[in-house]
Amino acid sequence: MVTPRRTVLFEQQKALGARCINFGGWEMPVQFTSIIDEHQAVRMACGVFDISHMGEVFVSGPRAFDWLQHMLANDLAKCPVGGGQYSFLLNERGGVIDDLIVYRMAEDNFLLLVNAAKIAEDVAWLQQHATEGVTIDNRSDTMSALAVQGPESARVFREVFQCEMPARNTFIAMEKCRGAVIAAGTGYTGEAGFELFFANTLAGDVWAALLKAGAKPCGLGARDTLRLEMCYPLNGSDLSPDRTPLEAGLGIFVALDKPDFLGRDALIAQKESGLPGRLVALRMTEKSPPPRAHYPVLVDGQAAGETTSGALSPSLGEGIAMAYLPPALAKPGQAVQIDIRGRHFAAVVEKKPFYRPSSGRAA
C-alpha cells in the first residue's frame, strides 16, 4: 500500500486530537471532537477545514483563455478577473473527470482548484491536450489551503486580515497580509465563508490565527454531511467518468452555447436522445439506519438504482442520500425504498437542496 501523504498541518491537528482517515491518498482529519458538533459549528458559528490536500494548478500564457474555454465545460468569458467559477473537466463522452473551481487571477492567468484524488489525472489530461502559448504549473505540493465556513466567517476574516471578506465567487490577492494569500469567497458547505490559498510555509501561522479568532477545527466528516445537505456533489461518489453533468443536474454549469469544448458533442447528443438517469435527492420517511453510499434503491420492489452518497443529516435529524434514478422516477414526491442490510425503508425524492442555510446562499 502507498503511504498516505500528510498536509503540513498534520502535527498541529494531531495535537488537537484529530482522528484521521485515508482520503484520496491523504491522511486527513475526519473529526476533531465530533462530526455533529463540527457540523453545527459551521451552521451556527464558524469552522475551519484543512483542504491542503486539494490541488492548485495554474494555467497561464497568451493562449490560456482560449485553451481553457476548450478544456472546461462552463463559459470562462463569464468569469472576470477577480472572479471564481465552478466548472468541469469532461472526457470525450461528456463524463466527469473532475469538478473544480477556476479563479481568474489575470486576463491570461488562471488558478484551478481540483480534487485531491484527481490531481495527477487532471494534470496529465491537461498536459496531454496542451498547446503552444499555454503553461501548466502544478503547485499542489508547495501550496496549502484552508476553508473557513459559517455565519461568523466575516468577523473571523476581519479579525485575521483587518479587511472585509471577499464577496461570493470573488477573490482578493493579499500580498502583504501574513505573506501572499489568495482569499476567495467560495466554499462547499452552503454557508457564508472563504477559502485561503498560500505557500506551505504560512500554513501554521494562518491556521493558528483562524483558531484564535474563534474558528472551530473541523474534519472531513462534517465537510461531507454539510455538502450533502446542500446536494453538492463529491467527485468519485456522485460524479464519475460514466455520468455527465447533465445527469447530475448540474447543467447550469455547462455552457452548451459555447461553440466548442471537450465533451460538448456527447452532451448535445445526450440531451437530444434523453438522459439515461438523473441524480436525485432522497429523504428517509421512516425511522431507519442512516443511508450510505452503494445501498440499492427500489421503486415498487423493483431495482431502480443505487445511492451514491448518504448520511444522517445533523441539521434535519433525518437520513438523506443521493442516487441516480431513471428520469421517469426522478420527480420530487416519487416514493422509493432503500435497501439497508436486506430490509427496505421508505424514502421520497426531494427537491434539492435538503437544507437552506441561514448565511450564504440557497443553492
Partner 1 sequence: MNVPDDLKYAESHEWIRLDGDTGTVGITDHAQNELTDIVYVDPPKVGDTVTAGQPAAVVESVKAASDIYSPVDGEVIEVNDALSSEPALVNTSPYENGWLYKIRLSNPSQLDALKSPDDYRAQIG
Residues forming the site for partner 1 (CB under 8 A): 19, 30-31, 34-36, 221, 225, 287-290, 292, 311-312, 314, 341
**Closer residue to partner 1 (CB): 82 or 290:** 290
**Closer residue to partner 1 (CB): 7 or 31:** 31
Three-state DSSP class for 79? coil
**Closer residue to partner 1 (CB): 30 or 329:** 30
**Closer residue to partner 1 (CB): 82 or 296:** 296
**Closer residue to partner 1 (CB): 34 or 270:** 34
Beta-carbon contacts of 336 under 8 Å, excluding residues fewer than 6 positions away, are 282, 297, 298, 299, 304, 325, 329, 346, 347, 348, 349
Q: Are 216 and 48 in contact (CB under 8 A)?
A: yes
Phi, psi of 200 (to 5 degrees): -50, -35
For cell 500580498, what's the residue?
A: 175
The nearest distance, CB 35 to partner 1, in angstroms, is 4
The nearest distance, CB 226 to partner 1, in angstroms, is 12
Q: Are 225 and 314 in contact (CB under 8 A)?
A: yes
How, if at all, do strands 216-218 and 335-340 pair? unpaired
The nearest distance, CB 34 to partner 1, in angstroms, is 5
The nearest distance, CB 180 to partner 1, in angstroms, is 36
The nearest distance, CB 343 to partner 1, in angstroms, is 9
**Closer residue to partner 1 (CB): 78 or 287:** 287
The nearest distance, CB 299 to partner 1, in angstroms, is 24
Q: Are 227 and 234 in contact (CB under 8 A)?
A: yes
H or E element in which residue 56 lies? strand 55-60
Beta-carbon contacts of 333 under 8 Å, excluding residues fewer than 6 positions away, are 348, 349
Nearest-10 Cα torsion for 257, 99, 246, 67: 20
The nearest distance, CB 350 to partner 1, in angstroms, is 20
Helices marked H in 198-301 — which ranges? Answer: 203-212, 220-229, 264-273
The nearest distance, CB 38 to partner 1, in angstroms, is 10
The total number of residues shown for the chain amounts to: 363
The Cα–Cα gap between 296 and 340 comes to: 8
**Closer residue to partner 1 (CB): 60 or 225:** 225
Beta-carbon contacts of 305 under 8 Å, excluding residues fewer than 6 positions away, are 277, 296, 297, 323, 324, 325, 326
**Closer residue to partner 1 (CB): 181 or 282:** 282
How, if at all, do strands 216-218 and 47-50 pair? parallel
